[in-house]
Amino acid sequence: MTHTSRRTLLTAGASTIGLTLAGCLTDGAGERTPDEPIPATTATMYKGPNCRCCDSYGEHLDASLETDLETVVADDLTAVKDDRGIDADLRSCHTVELDGYLVEGHVPAATVATLLEDEPEIAGIALPGMPSGSPGMGGEKRGTWQVYELRSGDEPAVYAEL
């Protein structure tokens, strides 16, 4: 039979209370809950006429936005991307304009939220192609996704690795 001293019990109890209070007193800055809406005021998605993965991505993003996502079916999606200066190597099947930023491709809503919170001096972000397991796409996620910064005239830099 082991005996626990009164001092050990008091120390353990005080430590537990201290850790609990420390957790309650943090301001939670930078922490996003999945239920917290993305505070965008405008959101427009440009997509082709028959793309179901675009529709699925639109549902994913719209469910996370504070505003409604407007969908525009573009007859010439290449022209939409050209007009916005999106490099051909960074393109996907749809483009979203969101409070002055561009979001190209199947970028997870949490990464879009970070973009709007951080307000970097870039045109937007892109997840090139249509990666398996990304929002709106079926399948399993394989490997690390690289989300790139959209900057006019510059080589794309990595914004985030997911």
Task: Note the pLDDT tens digit of each residue in 102-160.
Answer: 999 999 999 999 999 999 999 999 999 999 999 999 999 999 999 999 987 768 899 99
List Cβ neighbours of 111 (8 Å cut-off, separation of 6 or more): 125, 147, 159, 160, 162
| Residue 29 to residues 80, 84, 117, Cα–Cα distance (Å) | 36, 33, 11
Q: What is the pLDDT of residues 58-91, one digit of tens each?
A: 999 999 999 999 999 999 999 999 999 999 999 9
- 14 pLDDT above the threshold of 50: no
Please list the residues that pair with 2 across neighbouring strands. Answer: none
User: Which residue in this structure is represented by tokens 């505070």?
Assistant: 39
**Half-sphere CA count of 19, side-chain side, radius 13 A:** 6
Note the pLDDT of residue 34.
60
Q: Report the alpha-carbon distance of residue 48 to residue 57 in Å, rounded.
A: 13
